[in-house]
Amino acid sequence: MKVAVFSTKPYDQDYFERYTENEDLSFTYFDSSLNRDTANLASGFGVVCVFVNDTVDKETIDLLAQHGVGLIALRCAGYNNVDLEAIKEKKIKLVRVPAYSPEAVAEHAVALILTLNRKTHKAYNRVREGNFSLNKLLGFNLHGKTVGVIGTGKIGATFCGIIKGFGCKIMAFDLYPSEELKKQGVQYGSLEEVFKQSDIISLHCPLNPDTKHIINKSSLALMKDGIMIINTSRGALINTSDIINGLADKKVGFLGIDVYEQEENLFFKDLSEMIIEDDLILRLISYPNVLITSHQAYFTREAMEEITQTTINNIKEYCSGDSLTNEVL
């Protein structure tokens, strides 16, 4: 089976080649993202493999169907970038990687919290320049703080376990509260209660119509002054314009994001020699209390191994005519 892999980086190709050496699969790698303008590259392929910022909308799906693509294999958990109705209409199969090292993302969320709080990134740069002053590096104890967790699936639950070790009180919101987390001392409440009571809020929910812009002007108004907000889930959970206003009026004291609403135009690319035309990201970067990483929370050896192996197994099941373990529809 011929597989077209879009949005390929050198590390993606390295892992796929490592695990398909003896497989009856032929992979062709494209560094361009999949969208309606690049869908013709899939001509002659039975499977396309895509990532978080590929645009799998109706127009793209129509073109893939015309080229005979029968399977879209996501090498990620989320599928908010896929038009599910168009997938059903064209009878194309859709599979994903439902879970890959929740520890990777949860640990990165904690890293953002610690870095923003204790300003270790700034201390590192200072010391390298011979500046050993502690001025403006004051942090706070995590112990005793209330951490709000929105979404307690595998990643959110793992995050709860880690942050609990710091002696934090955990308030959580999820449509399906975990009895196991309750036994561990996690207190569930309404979304409004989480917003009002938390000193730190970490987002671990999927992006859908109900959660889009869950952090907005209205929800920010409910929060404590100086709130720390962490997002390692999906960029559009936060209304960027509203969070910038929150930073400007000091409602938001700290912001750590590994995802961004318009990241498909920026992330995974080296733009160091180019003029960035996204005014919102430039404004965010200008704030000293904002820390941005470019969708690297998942990026550990363990996660890459799980993503690659699950994706290959998904494709092999399709080729063999077996039931698809990780089918979305």
Q: Supply the mean pLDDT for the chain.
A: 96
Candidate list 75, 108, 213, 295, residue with the active-site label: 295
Structural domain boundaries in the chain: 2-100+301-320, 102-292
In the set 75, 108, 204, 263, the catalytic residue is: 263
What's the pLDDT score for residue 89? 96
- 3-state secondary structure labels for all residues of 144-169: CCEEEEECCCHHHHHHHHHHHCCCCE
For domain 2-100+301-320, give the CATH superfamily.
NAD(P)-binding Rossmann-like Domain (3.40.50.720)
For the segment 276-325, what is each residue's pLDDT rounded down to a tens digit? Answer: 999 999 999 999 999 999 999 999 999 999 999 999 999 999 999 999 99
- Dist. CA 304–CA 311, nearest whole Å: 11
DSSP label of 238? B
Can you give the pLDDT at residue 296?
96
CB–CB of 100/313 below 8 Å? no
Q: How far is CA 280 from CA 44, 101, 246, in A?
A: 40, 31, 13
pLDDT at 100: 87
Sheet of strand 93-95: strand arrangement: 26-29, 2-5, 47-50, 71-74, 93-95
47 pLDDT more than 90: yes
Report the percentage of the chain scoring pLDDT > 90. 95
What is the predicted pLDDT for the residue at 20? Answer: 85
- pLDDT (0 to 100) of residue 40: 96
Q: What pLDDT does residue 137 have?
A: 98
The class level of CATH for 102-292 reads alpha beta
Span 115-143, mean pLDDT? 98
Q: Do domains 2-100+301-320 and 102-292 have the same CATH topology?
A: yes
Does the structure show a pLDDT above 90 at 99?
A: no
pLDDT in tens, 158-194: 999 999 999 999 999 999 999 999 999 999 999 999 9
User: 129 an active-site residue?
Assistant: no
Q: Is 263 a catalytic residue?
A: yes
Q: What is the pLDDT of residue 38?
A: 97
pTM for the model: 0.92
**Model confidence band, residue 24 (pLDDT cutoffs 50, 70, 90):** confident
From the candidates 234, 261, 264, 317, which is the catalytic residue?
Answer: 234
On whether the CB atoms of residues 238 and 261 are closer than 8 A, the answer is yes
pLDDT (tens digit, 9 = 90+) per residue, 64-87? 999 999 999 999 988 999 999 999
Of 16-30, 69-83, 139-153, 228-242, minimum mean pLDDT range:
16-30
Q: Please confirm, yes or no, whether 234 is among the known catalytic residues.
A: yes
Question: In whole angstroms, what is the distance from residue 206 CA to residue 212 CA?
Answer: 9
